[in-house]
Amino acid sequence: MRTFKKHLKEKLKDRRFRELYEEEKKLAELSLKILDTREHLGLSQMEVAKRAKITQQQLSKIEHGFNCNIATFLKVCDALGIKIALERQKFAHAA
């Protein structure tokens, strides 16, 4: 019986799967950052949603990894005091 790690390692050999996996992984990391920050501050979803001027349902979806538009994401980050920093990443040149 294959383990999940072995299965994932095999699937990640496929370029398209790997790209989609990395996108979802980043989204999950952002969602967890929002959830962890909210809980650390001792705030309810309703309190943060009111601060961000969004619905509690929208915040719940974000915390559960659903995609949202950038404006909504920035409102939530602002409501939680999360600073967004952008940096340029280095790309490998195609051969």
Q: How far apart are CA 12 and CA 23, in angstroms?
A: 13
Given a cut of 90, whether residue 67 has pLDDT beyond it is no
> Is pTM, for the whole model, over 0.95?
no
Residues 11-57 have pLDDT tens digits of 889 899 999 989 899 989 999 999 999 999 999 999 999 999 999 99
Q: What DSSP state is assigned to residue 54? A: S
Per domain, the residue ranges of the chain are: 4-80
CATH topology of domain 4-80: 434 Repressor (Amino-terminal Domain) (1.10.260)
Q: Where are the alpha helices (DSSP H) in 1-95?
A: 4-11, 15-40, 45-52, 56-63, 70-80
Contacts of 48 (CB under 8 A, 6+ apart): 38, 59, 76, 79, 80
What is residue 95's predicted lDDT score, i.e. its pLDDT? 55
Q: How far apart are CA 2 and CA 24, in angstroms?
A: 23
The mean pLDDT of the chain is 92
